[in-house]
Amino acid sequence: MRSYKTSLQCAGILFGTIAFAQDIIRPGDSTGGAATEQPATVPNGYIVTFAPGASKTSRALAALQAGAQLRYNYENLDAISVTATSSAISVLRSHPAVIRVTPDSIHRGRVKPGSGGGGPLPLDTRQVISNEVQRVGIPETDSDGTGIGIALLDTGIDFNHPDLAPAPNTPATAYNAFTPGASCQDDGGHGTHLSGLIAAQNNSIGILGVAPAAKLYCVKVLDSTISGADSVIMAGLDWVLTNRNKVTPRIRVVNISFGRLLASGETLDNSLLRPLIQSLYQAGVVVIAAAGNNPDVEISQIVPAGFPEALAVASSVATNGIRTCFLLGYDLPSVPADTASGFTTDGAGVTTTAPGEERSDIVTLGSAGCVGLQYGTLSTTLNTGGATRKLIPGLQEARGTSFSAALVTGVVARIMEKQLVPATSNGTEVEGIRSWIRNNASRTGVAPLDHPWAGVIYNYTFDGVREGIAQAPK
């Protein structure tokens, strides 16, 4: 059987002042999931866990005495992050209060590589409601996320974008985990795209988010390459735990649209990230996590999506595609709405599914002949003042479970606003919201549909559960 891949070539279409661009399927390598190799680690980076009760001062002193450079000294975890030589790590391992030393693993945003296209575009004097937002539920006057704070752990937010209104870019309401006290301005585009899906404003321009009245708090834990280490992400989670009740409105939801495979020797139970997620859970803070973009693995192999305290979100297609020709000679059918994305990670434990891409078409495209076009999600775009289906014009197509998670984050804000689940500020509240989402999903038992290109273009296989498509309350 021949195999195919998503090309780095571009097909762009402009509609008004909103940019539409697609990934193009052409002959090449398989589009099956990424290889399941171990996650990369930070060179000479380690996380050192101490016995419960070790003070921050004693932890810092242990690093100093070992000759290690202290990077983070966490408030809500008995641990530090260091840069250290092997000899310094040996000294730390022998410290009587140290119970574990772990390499600092790297996470990546849950976005599919894609084509280029589209330049900076101004906002129009009208508002577009994307197919993705329409599928999970257009906000209404009394269901728009009012009064709900959302911490967005990502590449940052474009504070200059006219369609976004996050909390101010100040140390009191935003946090740059790479350089505490520095700006939380986005430099990778991923966070700005998520921001629009969650909370683009209800005005006369651009697009509309699922929960436009919710308040976003910027927590920068991913760099311009949409990557971030455990140590940095832990610092971001630590900040949320410390500051969630110090801001108004208080933080009740956390969006995590990144992840990684379990490292060697790591399990979901002993992962260093788990205690912080558990602490948020016990405080009633709902953590939404992208399932991942590798159909060859399940969420039980992924952190943080595999943690039972998190609400893991898989990806589907928002609307019906079309087919007008035979792609590379294959009689492939069109892809209907609510089909599982061919790239999505799933498996037992996924809470729900939401669109992570708009649609897939098979059409004739000029001299290229019959091609498959895969459309990303439409949202706010960094440094454009407008909206596109790209993270940054000319770079990746915005397709992936990252964007599915953002939509569900908006859904959760609206559930909280309408007080459909008692606000008990503990795990009971989180489980109540999980149950509400599952019980009120659209097409439960039917969707997500099997991908009709499975086995030819994608390695997607059905995981045995059709959890439906997430729906926001009206």
pLDDT in tens, 385-432: 989 888 877 666 789 999 999 999 999 999 999 999 999 999 999 999
Over range 77-87, report the average pLDDT.
98
Q: What pLDDT score does 36 carry?
A: 47
CB neighbours of residue 69 within 10 Å: 14
Choose between 310 and 18: higher pLDDT: 310
Mutual orientation of helices 427-439 and 401-417 as an angle, nearest 10°?
Answer: 110
Lowest-confidence range among 130-139, 165-174, 227-236, 371-380?
A: 371-380
Band (455; pLDDT cuts 50, 70, 90) = confident
Contact 147, 249 (CB under 8 A): yes
How large a percentage of the chain has pLDDT more than 90?
Answer: 76
pLDDT digits (tens, 9 = 90+) for 268-307: 999 999 999 999 999 999 999 999 999 999 999 999 999 9
Candidates 119, 117, 217, 125; CA nearest to 162 is 125
Burial class (CB in 10 A: 0-12, 13-18, 19+), 6: buried
pLDDT at residue 34 is higher than 90: no
Q: Output the CA–CA distances (angstroms, integers) from residue 37 to 81, 92, 166, 222, 262, in the order listed.
A: 24, 28, 37, 21, 10
Mean pLDDT of 154-165: 97
Q: Cβ atoms within 10 A of the Cβ of 321, count?
A: 22
What confidence score (pLDDT) does residue 127 get? Answer: 87
Run of H or E including 435: helix 427-439
pLDDT band at 259 (very low <50, low <70, confident <90, very high): very high
Question: Quick one: average pLDDT of 302-317?
Answer: 97
Instruction: Give the count of beta carbons closer than 10 Å to the beta carbon of residue 190.
Output: 30
| pLDDT 10s digits, 102-158 | 999 999 876 665 443 333 334 454 689 999 999 999 999 999 999 999 999 999 999
Residue 289: φ, ψ to 5°:
-125, 135
Least confident of 7-11, 193-197, 275-279, 340-344: 7-11
Over range 254-274, report the average pLDDT. 96
**pLDDT tens digits, 361-390:** 999 988 888 988 889 999 999 999 989 888
pLDDT at 372: 87
Share the mean pLDDT of the chain.
88
Q: How confident is the model at residue 46 (pLDDT cuts 50, 70, 90)?
A: very high
Q: Which helix (H) or strand (E) holds 254?
A: strand 251-256
Q: What percent of the chain has pLDDT over 70?
A: 88
